[in-house]
Amino acid sequence: MADAERWLGDRKIELNRGDIGLGHDAIMAWHEDRGGRPKFLFKLKLTSLVRQPLHQVPEKDWEGPCILGACQMAERRIQLTGWKTSRRVIFARTLQGVVPDAHSEEF
């Protein structure tokens, strides 16, 4: 990140958005280490340690319309293995209705 900041010169990074590979402690800690560093938004791999708190979110805590195809979100603080501290995580889900089983002839 320090290299990226030097390459940008006077321009300032406001948000670092990344995929699954960036959600580890060293990179997140760099962003959190000092004030004025960019905010970050990283996608987490959906492991069993991420699924567990996801499945513990009560229905009343999901924000957004409760209709098919709508995206709902819920916020939690979790601490994953390898993280030195807990962090704010936003879970998102899309309501899909009933998914027929593999032996059904419905699509």
- pLDDT digits over 2-61, tens only? 777 788 788 777 888 888 888 889 989 989 988 888 889 999 999 999 999 999 999 999
Q: Is residue 107 part of a domain?
A: no
- What pTM, to 2 d.p., does this model score? 0.74
Position 59 in a domain: yes
Three-class secondary structure of residue 32 per DSSP: helix
> How far is the CA of 20 from the CAs of 1, 14, 47, 85, 105, in angstroms?
17, 20, 11, 18, 36
Amino acid at 103: H
The label of the residue with tokens 């916020």 reads 75
- 1 pLDDT band, cuts 50/70/90, is low
In angstroms, the CA 56 to CA 44 distance is: 17
Answer whether residue 103 is part of any domain: no
End-to-end CA distance of the chain: 46
Indicate if 3 and 38 belong to the same structural domain: yes
Q: For residue 17, what are the domain limits?
A: 1-43
- What was the pLDDT predicted at 20? 84
Note whether residue 15 is domain-resident.
yes
Asked whether residue 31 falls in the same domain as residue 12, the answer is: yes
What domain count does the chain have? Answer: 2
In a shared domain, residues 92 and 64: yes
The amino acid sitting at 55 is H
Looking at residue 59, its pLDDT comes to: 93
